[in-house]
């Protein structure tokens, strides 16, 4: 089963102080380094207009828990996390239709 992870993020004031082109350069470089493995993908959702604690939601899909784990290790080494541009608020791992997979395995 593919693992889906909802990574809840908060942009810090330090991040917001950068101009948008600088943010784009930093995030593009970081995310290209993090998601360099074809067994893992991500999508971004903006939430700041609707939530006071979370500014963004990254939805990660991984073929294995190991692929996800390695991506998070790479993320921690990027400027996004290491320079305190993003704060990871919560991590919610899930399996899509996991109950069906369990029922079918019985």
What is the model's pLDDT at position 81? 95
Q: Tell me the pTM.
A: 0.89
Distance between CA atoms of residues 5 and 57, nearest Å: 10
What is the model's pLDDT at position 98? 86
How do the pLDDT tens digits run along the chain, 106 residues long? 899 999 999 999 999 999 999 999 999 999 999 999 899 999 999 999 999 999 999 999 999 999 999 999 999 999 999 999 999 999 999 998 888 888 899 8
b or e along 22-55 (b: 16 or more beta carbons within 10 Å of the residue's beta carbon)?
A: ebeebbeebbeebbebeebeeeeeebeeeeeebb
- For the chain, how big is the Rg over CA atoms in Å? 15
Start-to-end C-alpha separation, the chain: 15
């Amino acid at each position: 089963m593919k693992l889906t992870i909802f990574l809840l993020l908060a942009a810090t004031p330090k991040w917001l102080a950068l101009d948008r082109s600088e943010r784009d350069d930093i995030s593009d470089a970081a995310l290209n380094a993090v998601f360099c493995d074809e067994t893992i993908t991500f999508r971004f959702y903006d939430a700041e207009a609707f939530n006071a604690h979370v500014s963004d939601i990254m939805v990660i899909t991984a073929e294995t828990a190991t692929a996800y784990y390695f991506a998070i290790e790479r993320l921690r080494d990027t400027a996004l996390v290491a320079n305190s541009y993003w704060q990871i608020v919560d991590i919610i791992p899930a399996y899509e239709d996991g109950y069906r997979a369990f029922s079918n395995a019985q």
